[in-house]
Copies of this chain bind each other. A is one copy, B any other.
Amino acid sequence: MSGYRYYQKASKAYYSHPHLSKLLVVFTLSGGGGLLAVSDNSPLSAAYADAGQRDITKKKVVVLGTGWAGTSFLKSLTHPSYEVQVVSPRNYFAFTPLLPSVTNGTVEARSIVEPIRNIVRKKKFDAQFREAECYKIDTQNKKVHCRSQKTNLGGVEEFTVDYDYLVIAMGARSNTFNTPGVLEHAHFLKEIEDAQRIRRTVIDCFERASLPSVSEDERKRILHFVVVGGGPTGVEFSAELHDFVNEDLAKLYPTLKKHVKITLLEASDHILNMFDKRITAFAEQKFHRDGINLKVGSMVTKVTATEISTKEIATGETVNTPYGMVVWSTGIGTRPVVMDFMKQIGQTNRRVLATDEWLRVEGSDCIYALGDCATINQRKVMEDISVIFNKADKNNTGRLKVDDFKEVINDICERYPQVEIHLKKRQLKDFVHLMKHSHGDDEFNIEKFKSSLSEVDSQMKNLPATAQVAAQQGTYLADCFNRMEICEKYPEGPLRFRGAGRHRFRPFRYKHFGQFAPLGGEQTAAQLPGDWISIGQSTQWLWYSVYASKLVSWRTRMLVISDWGRRFIFGRDSSRI
């Protein structure tokens, strides 16, 4: 994804010339290619568009979802031998990292969305979009059942779509951990509508608290904003809300400012757990200075219409706190339709849909899953240790020299990425050094081989549920689809240790380009590859640059930048629309 390349360039330039950081916005604007570029109408797509004239030799690909994974797959798929149908309840792609900015009007909702049909219509192959929800996947008949519900246009409309290949990219739902009252009373922050609803509710709270008949206690309650979950989204939302209140609302509701309270609840000991400790410490100090009430070690047990109950983990004590608005941002769960699908294919004892390293759903042949709805079930080296040994031991001697398995080293490293992580962590040059380091010997039997690799699998980690992972998976899978024919003939993947020949494709490998945590007041923390840490106002400018360059199209890019500019000049709008 070209956006990432610009991110890399930007971070390099930033570290060699920190004073240049403010220029980066201009640089990324003029040069940054986005995930999706919008060009002219293609006459081809119009010609193909009539659903009646399908080419039966073409493989039917059905994509479920138009989030990061689905959209980047659709965008990168170019081979004309497919016929694609995209099914999603939303006819647009949303640039979700800017959702917290939408909650208070730093950025407008419409600035961060791009119509999927703008992408579909430029495809050189037959591509269709259907605004509907998939409610059932029928693997036996290779069909997905879809439903569109519009009360104003004749109610429920149901239809099925056949597939040869199915790409599941439906994302996840917010996880309430079955906490009572959360679904009914809390706001989430996953969809555009959620962000718009939060924005309206914040204004509602201020307007309501301004009424003359409201008592002082009730006023305090209404103006108590509670954020549950100290991850990047919860932290960014708290910070943005704090800025909105202090920079804009304080002027319009001068008598209310003193009553406003923002509380951030986190069950573990620290916020921003996935970040470096320095970032966590900085964020916690900044929130303390800003007057954001940070409560760690506090688990939500119940939410009612006016109170939120928490259990303090240290003391076991339960506290009931009156609130005006709760935003729930604690983690993700599996959607019911995916759960149902998992039962069908025998993944009954899992919580998340599992795929192999090629993003193919385990227990299924032509179904792929990517993004937040799936997780890669990385194969352990130890599971395959004997077959690997046998594959290297061509003469079946039961003993291997280092030179013997030089041939399969690349395949091992490619098939089991944990090996490379292990090598890097132990600061070993390569696989051969690992073997030698373990035994100081040049020859092994299977036992020695096992023991030298015994720690490797502990390096295995699930990928985080982020936009970055989903987008990379989408591009990867589309690339596999584009080269399907060639790779069938000339496989380019690693050796099949348990079978003959090679895998068709290289397995998916995630490249981490770092992560931002905006902290409000034009301060951002960033954790970049190679354990680089950057905190402060210049990081905020890096954040502006990266996000501007990664936006989906020139249209959204222009809109978001003009939104930022407008906020600097006029502040945020407080109209309740």
Question: A259 at the A/B interface (Cβ < 8 Å)?
Answer: no
By a CB distance below 8 angstroms, the chain B residues around A255 are 49-51
Question: A269 at the A/B interface (Cβ < 8 Å)?
Answer: no
Q: Which of B108, B115, B159 contacts A212 (CB 8 A)?
A: B159
In the bound assembly, the distance between CA atoms of A414 and B252 in angstroms comes to: 42
Instruction: Establish whether residues B115 and A574, one from each chain, have CB atoms under 8 Å apart when the complex forms.
Output: yes
Instruction: Establish whether residues A555 and B559, one from each chain, have CB atoms under 8 Å apart when the complex forms.
Output: no
In the bound assembly, the distance between CA atoms of A193 and B562 in angstroms comes to: 24
In the bound assembly, the distance between CA atoms of A255 and B45 in angstroms comes to: 11
By a CB distance below 8 angstroms, the chain B residues around A51 are 212, 255
Instruction: Establish whether residues B566 and A252, one from each chain, have CB atoms under 8 Å apart when the complex forms.
Output: no
Stretch at the interface among A124-132, A274-282, A471-479: A124-132
Instruction: Establish whether residues B254 and A157, one from each chain, have CB atoms under 8 Å apart when the complex forms.
Output: no
Within the complex, the shortest CB–CB distance from A215 to chain B, in Å, comes to: 11
Question: A533 at the A/B interface (Cβ < 8 Å)?
Answer: no
Within the complex, the shortest CB–CB distance from A99 to chain B, in Å, comes to: 12
One digit per residue, 1 when the CB lies within 8 angstroms of any chain B CB and 0 when it does not, for chain A 106-136 equals 0011100111011001000000111110000
By secondary structure, the A interface counts as mixed
Q: Which residue of B lies closest to A218 (CB)?
A: B154
By a CB distance below 8 angstroms, the chain B residues around A161 are 212
One digit per residue, 1 when the CB lies within 8 angstroms of any chain B CB and 0 when it does not, for chain A 558-572 equals 110010001001100
In the bound assembly, the distance between CA atoms of A574 and B196 in angstroms comes to: 18
Instruction: Establish whether residues B324 and A577, one from each chain, have CB atoms under 8 Å apart when the complex forms.
Output: no
In the bound assembly, the distance between CA atoms of A570 and B562 in angstroms comes to: 15
By a CB distance below 8 angstroms, the chain B residues around A130 are 210-212
By a CB distance below 8 angstroms, the chain B residues around A569 are 555
By a CB distance below 8 angstroms, the chain B residues around A213 are 157-159
Q: Which residue of B lies closest to A155 (CB)?
A: B305
In the bound assembly, the distance between CA atoms of A108 and B130 in angstroms comes to: 26
Question: A204 at the A/B interface (Cβ < 8 Å)?
Answer: yes
Q: Which of B157, B305, B559, B566 contacts A566 (CB 8 A)?
A: B559
Question: A460 at the A/B interface (Cβ < 8 Å)?
Answer: no
Question: A17 at the A/B interface (Cβ < 8 Å)?
Answer: no
Within the complex, the shortest CB–CB distance from A444 to chain B, in Å, comes to: 60
In the bound assembly, the distance between CA atoms of A445 and B161 in angstroms comes to: 92
Q: What is the interface size of chain A, counting residues whose CB is below 8 A from a CB of the partner?
A: 70
Q: Which of B90, B205, B559, B574 contacts A576 (CB 8 A)?
A: B90
Q: Which of B193, B208, B555, B559 contacts A153 (CB 8 A)?
A: B208
If A213-B159, A252-B121 touch, whether A573 touches B150 (CB-CB below 8 Å) is no
Question: A339 at the A/B interface (Cβ < 8 Å)?
Answer: no
Instruction: Establish whether residues A577 and B252, one from each chain, have CB atoms under 8 Å apart when the complex forms.
Output: no
Q: Which residue of B lies closest to A110 (CB)?
A: B573
Q: Which of B148, B150, B193, B306 contacts A577 (CB 8 A)?
A: B193
Question: A510 at the A/B interface (Cβ < 8 Å)?
Answer: no
By a CB distance below 8 angstroms, the chain B residues around A324 are 153
Question: A203 at the A/B interface (Cβ < 8 Å)?
Answer: yes
Interface centre among A41, A305, A573 (most CB of B within 10 A): A573
Interface centre among A90, A108, A306 (most CB of B within 10 A): A108
Instruction: Establish whether residues A575 and B121, one from each chain, have CB atoms under 8 Å apart when the complex forms.
Output: no
In the bound assembly, the distance between CA atoms of A201 and B46 in angstroms comes to: 24
Within the complex, the shortest CB–CB distance from A27 to chain B, in Å, comes to: 22
Residues 141-180 (chain A) with a chain B CB within 8 angstroms: 148, 150, 152-154, 157-159, 161
In the bound assembly, the distance between CA atoms of A566 and B563 in angstroms comes to: 13
One digit per residue, 1 when the CB lies within 8 angstroms of any chain B CB and 0 when it does not, for chain A 249-287 equals 001111100000000000000000000000000000000
By a CB distance below 8 angstroms, the chain B residues around A158 are 213
In the bound assembly, the distance between CA atoms of A283 and B201 in angstroms comes to: 43
If A130-B211, A222-B153 touch, whether A566 touches B576 (CB-CB below 8 Å) is no
Question: A91 at the A/B interface (Cβ < 8 Å)?
Answer: yes
By a CB distance below 8 angstroms, the chain B residues around A214 are 157
Q: Which of B153, B210, B306 contacts A154 (CB 8 A)?
A: B306
If A115-B252, A204-B152 touch, whether A91 touches B573 (CB-CB below 8 Å) is no
Instruction: Establish whether residues B92 and A575, one from each chain, have CB atoms under 8 Å apart when the complex forms.
Output: yes
Instruction: Establish whether residues B113 and A573, one from each chain, have CB atoms under 8 Å apart when the complex forms.
Output: yes
Instruction: Establish whether residues B577 and A159, one from each chain, have CB atoms under 8 Å apart when the complex forms.
Output: no
Residues 352-404 (chain A) with a chain B CB within 8 angstroms: none
If A153-B208, A204-B152, A214-B157 touch, whether A49 touches B577 (CB-CB below 8 Å) is no
Q: Which residue of B lies closest to A130 (CB)?
A: B211
Other than the given A92-B577, A118-B252, A154-B305, 11 more pairs (CB < 8 A) read A90-B576, A91-B203, A91-B575, A110-B573, A110-B575, A113-B575, A150-B208, A158-B213, A159-B211, A554-B570, A555-B570
In the complex, 26 of the A-B residue pairs with CB atoms within 8 angstroms, ordered by the A residue number, are: A38-B570, A41-B251, A46-B254, A91-B574, A91-B575, A92-B575, A92-B577, A110-B573, A110-B577, A113-B577, A117-B253, A117-B574, A121-B251, A121-B252, A131-B210, A131-B211, A131-B576, A148-B211, A150-B204, A153-B208, A154-B208, A154-B305, A157-B213, A158-B213, A196-B577, A555-B569
Which A positions have Cβ atoms within 8 angstroms of B?
Answer: 38, 41, 45-46, 49-51, 90-92, 108-110, 113-115, 117-118, 121, 128-132, 148, 150, 152-154, 157-159, 161, 192-193, 196, 201, 203-205, 207-208, 210-214, 218, 222, 251-255, 305-306, 324, 554-555, 558-559, 562, 566, 569-570, 573-577
Q: Which 8 A-B pairs have the closest CB atoms?
A: A92-B575, A159-B213, A131-B207, A117-B252, A46-B254, A555-B570, A113-B575, A115-B574
